[in-house]
Structure 1
Amino acid sequence: MKVLSLTFALVLAECILAAPSKDIAHKVKETVIPPRGWKKHSPAPKDVTIELRLALPQPNFSELEKHLYEVSDPTHHRYGEHLSKEEVEELVAPHPESLRLVDEWLVSHGLPVESFIRSPAQDWVKIIVPVGVAEEMLDTEYHLWVHEKSGKSAIRTTSWSLPEFLFDHIEVAHPTTYFPSTKSMTATFHISPDVPPTEANAKTLLSSLDVPSAHNGQVDPECNNNITISCLQQIYNMKGYVPTQTHHNRIGLTGYLEQFANIADLQSFYAYSRPEAVGSSFNVVDINGGQNSQNLSEAGVEANLDTQYAFGLTFPTPGTFFTVGGSPPIDIDNHTPTNTNEPYQDWVDYMLGHPNPPQTVSTSYGDDEQTVPESYARRVCNGFAQLGARGVSLLFSSGDFGVGDGNPDPETQVCQTNDGRNVTRFIPTFPATCPFVTSVGGTIKIPEVAVDFSGGGFSHLFSTPSYQQEAVNAFLQQLPEGTYPGLFNPSGRGFPDISAQSERFIVFVGGQRGHVGGTSASAPTVAAIISNLNDARLAHGLPPLGFLNPLLYKIQHSGALNDITSGNNPGCGTQGFNATAGWDPLTGLGTPNFGKLKDIVLRH
């Protein structure tokens, strides 16, 4: 928190007396049509407080992006020379004029400078204000909105404005037009029953499956029924690897919406699938009031899946579970909302302020991209770029609804734009579409094929980044002319980038053993593999991998990625995209071969 000097405070007071901001003309900054299903309930109470975040422009972000690509490109002489926290903050810091004007404006609304909460780079400022004050500042009206199907509620507006002199000095105001996802940002998982081997496949179970890329070229056939730690080690050629850099390497997982990771369940899982890890646990970091109840009845399927596999595959590497609060329900009758922010930015703020964040982080949550205002999506994505420049590998699950809109039944998906035009098109998932993260799709069976729910496609917000231009063009060129006209953006960022097994993972939840699936199983699996690659690099005196995508696309044809060429991801009344040779928008570049990847990353 910064405190202005007495001289500057006096200057501010003179400016305020000379030109009260409430008399200055406003100009509309952003207007949206509320996402489908949201209905205006009533005016928001004027005295209810909200945490209002303001994002100031980052005039040198293009320079940071240049650094990011150089230190992430294995053919560049700067590969692995990640930036320090201070170097990143200097590159994204706002112009002093933006700081001055925004501070003056906030003070003019009766907000003391000492109450401002700033991000480490000062490119975000957070203030706690009554709704009535926020409405005056942004020349808008807040309302309580309710989602008819889910019952979720939020304080939001559909349009906001700024004084003209501030128009180029504030990029985002939040919460304003970003409505919570109708999926409540729930983790992408499927629960499947425990199915014992049938007589029909009994003979198959007597012999191993030949998989040339796997450990010793074979995989236990039982892995077609139950995915365990051993199965993943076999399939991805990682069996026998034991991390050694436990004082330097760390892996992190994020948990949102009261998804609690249960330690008793973890011990049961370890006893079943990783006996040598029994007795070990993980660190818990709470952000913005996040909790991690250890009541077995409150154990989260997603949180347990993530911790059991990411930490089980990387044992004894230290693991951290980030439990993030935010976006609780609003009691409309009592008008007592306690927080109206979405959790992504809270987590990014924490990580950017951390002097030594985990080198690998997996997240299995997402929104329909079209429900996230472009200004907000780009700023969150830019935050991910800052972490990548500092050497952090960020992995996000690609989603569980194929090319569809989050409705589990492909036949009833709406798949229409929420901009008032109601145009039919595929619905990509954010943050998986951010070009500065690694998006993870899903596979199934041995040998592997694409799973039909694997989220994938092309962003409508972000253009195709240079590192994947060649791979995406190759896919588009083999599509028959006229395929899905208008349903996807061929100039958009293609996702996912990579994939892994995503069905029939054995987990323990609430003291019970069962199966879980989804790309939320794929993401922590790939994250664990990346963490072990970081371990190998650190053991050889090399820096962590950091932002992965430039490396992955450079080694596409090296044999270190198992190309998946069968399967499709239906949705929106279509068959979706097909898995093909090379990159495709449901399995990306394929699945990882740890042994070959290790050989490659130790050469750079």
Structure 2
Amino acid sequence: MRSFVWFALVAATLSNAAPSKLSALKVKEEIAHPRGWVKSHPAPADAIIELRIALPQSNFEELERHLYEVSDPFHTRYGQHLSKAEVEALVAPHPESIHVVNEWLASHGLYEHELTRSPAKDWVRVSVPVGLAEKMMDAEYHVWVNDKDGDTIIRTTKYSVPEDVHDHIELIQPTTLFSNLRGMDTTFRFTDADANVQQVSPNVPPISVPSASGGKVDASCNQTITVSCIRELYNAVGFTPSGKDGNQIGITGYLEQFANIADLQLFFADQVPAALNSTFKFISVKGGLNNQSIEAAGAEANLDTQFAFGLTHPTPATFFSTAGRPPFIPSVGSPTNTNEPYTDWLDFVLSQRTIPQTISTSYADSEQTVPVSFARRACNGFAQLGARGVSLTFSSGDGGVGDGDPDPATQECFSNDGRNITRFDPLFPPSCPFVTSVGGTIHIPETAVDFSGGGFSNVFPRPSYQDVAVKGFLNKLPKGTYAGLFNPDGRAIPDVAAQADLFRIFLSGRAVSIGGTSAAAPTFAAIISLLNDARLSKKQKPLGFLNPLIYALAREHPKAFNDITVGNNPGCGTPGFNATKGWDAITGVGTPNFGVLKELVTSGF
């Protein structure tokens, strides 16, 4: 405790110190002209942007060691997750970094009362006019226009900081971040769901699936996926969570996607009658809304919340709505948020003492549009949540081995580094090794769905927990397959899979059918939440960061996951990767068998 007090006193003292003369500016980051964006006019000098400054996390390697120890089912520390204070102590910057960055900001008239710091002091946020940002960083901000959707943002392709400040700043944004966060629902698959339901004859015999509950799945599930279908297929029939053992589940919402409560009640009446009149806790992040007008209902938000909360009722549920989305519209005024909003969500949730043990996200973007420095830093934020015992699932994408765009005609698979060479394009954050990436299947018996995102990161190296499984897959590939199109040493995605198409949800008062790995991620998250409930009911710890456990169980207990061996995920003008025995780059280790998993995770494996 004494060291924390000393740290606070030093930081407070240095923040008020008179600025000293700083060294000459040196380029911190520079990128090529970003693909898909057109430079327009110079940004208005008086437009306000919020600079996010990342200070080096002094002991992240130690936090990573803790994370892997508490997440390894064969380690003596398994389940002994860190506290909020312990995590913050490990990522706190060195006092010298705080001092040096404070001096630099003060030299431009920015003092402590104008700054906002993260709880660990590793992020500093300050709102400044574009003109001042350009002076501080020797940068030229312009309005950039996305050539697909016309969205506009303020960015620069190069920025600098004083040379003696370089080692005390990891990155500053918004500068070189040209990503375009999107939801993963494949909206072109919308159909009227009622027609599908009526086509199924009650006389059709159930489908035989040995790993399913009772070995059978209702035949209607081959045309329409409901909560009952998921429970039958993944062997979860008959399990009802406590709802009172402290277990929680959360869904994140971005880009003005609102979860409609009236639609949720229609869904409950249709598929989970016991849940009627129950709802979720709404948490606004940075002014996020949850507009309840019928016209504002979001397909992504409704899909995620209806299935995640329907499968886990009566587990307390939370919907996080994070405000902020590009574009900046010059004719309207200054932007209110020019950062990717999931970092705002990370800021918020890391500051909370109590966090849902399972959280699912169905939003991502092409990995290559995210600067490496930013991707690594955001990924470190997910690691902090894992160390605190939170399981994070992300949709792997809906573009096969491509950039997430489900339409082959508009899918771009060219490198974003100025070379414009053909390259498979995985998505971030699913490519972060500290989250669980969920691919997709279809039909019963299950096959890989063709749009399921999969492949290999060009930013993150393959983590050790994947070595055996992924090397086995690579060794099966014919020599020279897609040589140069992917990084065989990269973090491989997805980790697991779940059903991802023909989901029956309610949207704006009517039943519709929808697909996408945005269906798979909350479905898999719901199964994890049920497993957490089983553990918490026995006074055991939540599962936390899942991946070391997933790969260990897939290796030691093959029946824990249903191996998918049929299908492929075309993209970038290729057939993509094939599903095969063991791990593959379309369905991971397979889909969950809840009954087997429950016995394993509650009995010490």
Residue of structure 1 in register with 2:407 after alignment:
409
Equivalences for residues 321-332 of structure 1 within 5 A: 321-332=319-330
| Shift in Å, 1:246 | 2.6
* 1:69 alignment partner in structure 2: 68
1:237-290 deviation digits (Å, cap 9, x = unpaired): 001111114350100000000000000000000000000100000011011111
Aligned to 1:372: 370
Instruction: Tell me the amino acid that sits aligned with residue 478 of structure 2.
Output: P
Are the aligned partners of 2:11 and 2:95 in contact in 1 as well (CA < 8 Å)? no
Q: Choose which of 443, 446, 450 in structure 1 pairs with 2:444.
A: 446
Q: How many Å separate the matches in 2 of 1:167 and 1:597? A: 48
Encode CA deviations 1:414-438: one digit per residue, 9 max, x unaligned.
3100111001011101000000000
Residue 357 of structure 2, aligned match among 356, 359, 368: 359
Cα deviation, residue 5, structure 1: 7.9
The amino acid across from 2:432 in the alignment is C
TM-score, with structure 1 as normaliser: 0.96
Equivalent residues of 2:14, 2:102 under 8 A apart: no
With over 3 angstroms needed to count, the CA separation of the structure-2 counterparts of 1:66 and 1:526, relative to structure 1, is same
Specify the alignment match of 1:463 in structure 2: 461
- The CA distance in 2 between the partners of 1:37 and 1:408, in whole Å, is 17
Count of residues in correspondence between the two structures: 594
- Name the structure 2 match of 1:287: 285
Kindly indicate whether residue 185 of structure 2 is the aligned counterpart of residue 188 of structure 1. yes
Deviations 1:491-542, CA, capped at 9 Å, x for gaps: 0000000000001100000001110110000000000000010000000010
Distance in 2 (alpha carbons) for counterparts of 1:597 and 1:88 = 29
Structure 1: how far apart are the matches of 2:92 and 2:590?
38
By how many angstroms is 1:328 displaced?
Answer: 3.9
Change (3 A) 1:42 1:540: same
**Counterpart amino acid of 1:438?**
T
Cα distance in structure 1, aligned partners of 2:518 and 2:599: 27
How far, CA to CA, are the matches of 2:94 and 2:12 in structure 1?
21
Which residue identity is paired with 2:131?
G
CA shift for structure 1 position 112? 1.9
Counterpart-to-counterpart distance in 1, 2:360 and 2:14:
44
Q: Deviations over 1:533-572 (max 9, x none)?
A: 0000000010000000000000114111000000000011
Q: CA deviation at 1:116?
A: 1.2
Q: Tell me the equivalent position of 2:575.
A: 575
Q: Aligned residues: percent identity?
A: 59
Q: Which amino acid aligns with 1:127?
A: V
SS at match of 1:538: helix
Describe the shift of the 1:48–1:470 C-alpha distance in structure 2 as closer, same or farther (beyond 3 A). same
Question: Which aligned pairs between 1:204-283 and structure 2 lie closer than 5 A?
Answer: 206-283=204-281
**2:49 alignment counterpart:** 50
2:554 aligned counterpart, secondary structure:
coil
Is the 8 Å Cα contact of residues 3 and 113 (structure 1) preserved in structure 2? Answer: no
Aligned: 1:339 with 2:337? yes
| 1:37 CA drift (Å) | 2.1
Q: Counterparts of 2:537 and 2:27 in 1: how far apart (Å)?
A: 54
Report SS of the residue matched to 2:418. coil
Runs of 4+ in 1 over 3 A off after TM superposition: 2-10, 194-203
CA RMSD after TM alignment = 1.8
Distance, in Å, in 2 between the alignment partners of 1:9 and 1:379 is 24
Give the AA of the match of 1:225: Q
Secondary structure at the aligned position of 1:82 is classed as: coil
- In structure 1, the residue matched to 2:523 is 525
Shift of 1:7: 5.4
Q: For 1:3 and 1:358, how far apart are their aligned partners in 2?
A: 33
Structure 1 equivalent of residue 4 of structure 2 = none
Question: 1:121 aligns to what SS in structure 2?
Answer: coil
Q: Which letter does structure 1 place at the counterpart of 2:182?
A: M
Counterpart amino acid of residue 441 in structure 1 = G
* Aligned 1:59-98 pairs, distance under 5 A: 59-98=58-97
Task: Kindly provide the amino acid, as one letter, of the partner of residue 239 in structure 1.
Answer: V
Q: Kindly indicate whether residue 135 of structure 2 is the aligned counterpart of residue 136 of structure 1.
A: yes
Asked if the contact 2:433/2:491 (under 8 Å) is kept, the reply is yes
Letter in 2 for 1:188: D
Quote the residue 2:119 is aligned against.
120
Q: Which residues in structure 2 correspond to 1:583-598 (within 5 Å)?
A: 583-598=583-598
Matched, 1:178 2:177: yes
The alpha-carbon deviation at position 197 of structure 1 amounts to 6.1
Query: 2:37·2:147 contact (CA, 8 Å) conserved in 1?
Result: yes
Contact 2:102/2:111, CA 8 A, preserved across alignment: no
Cα distance in 1 between the residues matched to 2:482 and 2:15: 59
- Distance verdict in 2 for CA 1:9–1:411, change over 3 Å: closer
Alpha-carbon distance in structure 2 between the residues aligned to 1:532 and 1:7: 49
2:479 equivalent among 478, 481, 489: 481
* In 2, Cα distance between equivalents of 1:117 and 1:235: 48
CA distance in 1, matches of 2:201, 2:14: 80
Answer with 241-250 or 357-366: which moved more: 241-250
Change (3 A) 1:288 1:5: closer
- Helix, strand or coil for the counterpart of 2:167? coil
User: CA–CA distance in 1 between the matches of 2:519 and 2:47?
Assistant: 39
Q: CA deviation at 1:3?
A: 8.8
Task: Give, in whole Å, the separation in 2 of the partners of 1:186 and 1:309.
Answer: 16
Would you say 1:303 and 2:272 are equivalent positions? no
Q: Secondary structure, in 3 states, of the residue corresponding to 2:599?
A: helix
Structure 1 stretches of 5 or more lacking a match?
Answer: none
- Correspondence for 1:106: 105
CA shift for structure 1 position 179: 1.1
**How far does the alpha carbon of each residue in 1:452-510 deviate from its partner, in whole angstroms, 9 at most, with x for none?**
00000000000000001110000000100010010010000000000000011000000
CA offsets, 1:131-167, max 9 Å, x none?
A: 1111111111111111122110001000011100011
- SS in structure 2 at match of 1:494: strand
- Contact map agreement 2:69 2:78 (CA 8 A) in 1: yes
Change (3 A) 1:238 1:131: same
CA distance in 2, matches of 1:249, 1:334: 44
Maintained 8 Å contact 1:57/1:123: yes
Letter in 2 for 1:87: E
Sort the Cα spacing of 1:363 and 1:541 in 2 relative to 1 into closer, same or farther, 3 A: same
Gap change, CA 1:334 and 1:212, over 3 Å in 2 = closer
The 2-side partners of 1:396 and 1:115 are apart by 35
The one-letter amino acid of 1:272's match is: D
Residue 560 of structure 2 aligns with which residue? 560
Distance (Å, rounded) in 2 between the aligned partners of 1:4 and 1:109: 21
Which residue does 1:147 correspond to in 2?
Answer: 146
The 1:199/1:549 distance shift into structure 2, 3 A limit, reads closer
d(CA) in 2 for partners of 1:199 and 1:295? 29
| Distance (whole Å) between structure 2 residues aligned to residue 325 and residue 436 of structure 1 | 24
Letter in 1 for 2:509: G
Distance 2:9 2:224 in 1: 58
CA deviation after TM superposition for structure 1 residue 336, in Å: 2.5
Which residue is equivalent to 2:159?
160
Question: Counterparts of 1:408 and 1:479 in 2: how far apart (Å)?
Answer: 25
Q: Is the 8 A contact 2:243 2:313 kept in 1?
A: no
Tell me the amino acid that sits aligned with residue 599 of structure 1. Answer: E
Query: Which has the larger displacement, 130-139 or 289-298?
Result: 130-139
Whether the 8 Å contact between 2:186 and 2:514 is mirrored in structure 1 is yes
| Residues 446, 5 of structure 1: alpha-carbon distance in 2 compared, 3 angstrom cutoff | closer
Name stretches of at least 5 consecutive residues in structure 2 with no aligned partner: 1-7
Distance 1:163 1:222 in 2: 64
C-alpha separation in 1, matches of 2:99 and 2:51 = 18
Q: Which amino acid aligns with 1:137?
A: M
Give 1:186 shift. Answer: 2.9
What TM-score results when the alignment is normalised by the length of structure 2?
0.95
- What's the CA shift string for 1:431-456, capped at 9, x where partnerless? 00000000000000000000000000
**Structure 1 residues 252, 334: closer, same or farther in 2, change over 3 A?**
closer
Task: Give me the whole-angstrom Cα distance separating, in 2, the residues matched to 1:198 and 1:581.
Answer: 33
